[in-house]
Amino acid sequence: MTSPLTSPRVDLSQAIVAVLSVLKGVPSMSISGLARATGIDRRTVAKAIELIVRVQDSLATGHVEKRRVGKMWVISLTNRTTEFFRSAMNKVLRRGD
């Protein structure tokens, strides 16, 4: 006897989008609550949350930039601290100027 599928398969990118859209309206929710709200399997929701947290941690100190060079896209990850100091140096006014 086969068990019926409770929900169709959802890839991780779709799960991330669904989880983030539910979290926009609710301040906090458990993984099982998110699974019920999205209709996605609890294990998939847990994987999506883990990936969201990892990306969030890496983007706290870094900045992803996408720019076009000729016919190709160049993706770079730069340090936010370096960018902050560069922009601050450009904004500093010297006495007498």
Q: What is the pLDDT of residues 1-50, one digit of tens each?
A: 444 455 678 899 999 999 999 999 998 899 999 999 999 999 999 999 99
* pLDDT score recorded for residue 53: 93
pTM above 0.75, yes or no: no
Residue 44: half-sphere exposure toward Cβ, Cα within 13 Å: 19
* pLDDT score recorded for residue 49: 96
Q: Which residues of 13-47 are buried (b: 16+ CB within 10 A; e: fewer)?
A: eebbebbeebeeeeeebeeeebbebbebbeebbbe
Q: Nearest CA to 45 among 14, 15, 23?
A: 15
